Structure 1
Amino acid sequence: MRPIIPDELADAIHEKIIIDLCIHAMEARIVKAESDQNSELMGYFEDKLKKLLSMRKKINSYLKNENTKIHEVVICDDMFVEYPYYIKTKEGHYFLGIGKLL
């Protein structure tokens, strides 16, 4: 069941989670290209990583303005991961949600 939050905020939460996963994958590719001494491929991945980091910075700013905090990944098993997040409402209450990904 999806929490009762605006669609824009839910989309930003999911986008942040996906961008974090992409950053992790891009960093792993950079390390592999570095070990293979492929500077051209390394430069390509570093450019993509800079774009992802810029996107994450914008989303983090938006989420901070919306009083939303996404915590570190929780690995459920080899297929699923969860990202717990908290949203502080105007009334001062906290709402816990969990984003699950394959």
Structure 2
Amino acid sequence: MKPVISKELENSVHEKIIDLCIHAIESRLKKAESNKEPELVEYYEGKLKKPFSIKKGLKDYLRKENTKIQEVVVCDDMFVEYPYYIRTK
């Protein structure tokens, strides 16, 4: 069942999930750099530009709204899930 939260907060949660995916891409970028694969390095750097512009200020907003994103849950080889919760008074 979906929690009753504002659309703005829901969008912020989704954007934070994007932030976590950025971390995964950065890890692959570092591996490609260490393996000296310039094509992959260029590819991953291109993929990181837009998400970096989106994530500014997101962490502070979620903290202010008492929202916590938990660790990734691997569902299968194609999908992952990021559970989250919101603290209420």
Normalized against structure 1, the TM-score is what?
A: 0.65
Secondary structure of 1:31's aligned partner:
helix
Partner of 1:60: 59
- The whole-number CA distance in structure 1 between the counterparts of 2:27 and 2:81 is 21
1:87 counterpart residue number: 86
**After superposition, where does 1:1-102 map in structure 2 within 5 Å?**
2-36=2-36, 38=38, 41=41, 45=45, 48=48, 52=52, 55=55, 58-89=57-88, 92=89
Higher strand share: 1
Corresponding residue SS for 1:79 = coil
Unmatched 5+ stretches in structure 1: 93-102
List alignment gaps of at least 5 residues for structure 2. Answer: none
The one of the two structures with greater contact order (alpha-carbon pairs below 8 A, sep at least 6) is 2
Q: 1:97: which partner in 2?
A: none
Query: What fraction of aligned residue pairs are identical, expressed as a percent?
Result: 41
Higher Cα radius of gyration:
1
Aligned length in residues:
83
TM value normalised by structure 2: 0.73
> How far is 1:31 from its partner?
1.9
SS of the residue corresponding to residue 82 of structure 2 reads strand
* CA displacement at 1:3 relative to structure 2: 2.3
Residues of 2 paired with 1:7 and 1:81: CA distance?
22
List 4+ stretches of structure 1 deviating above 3 A: none
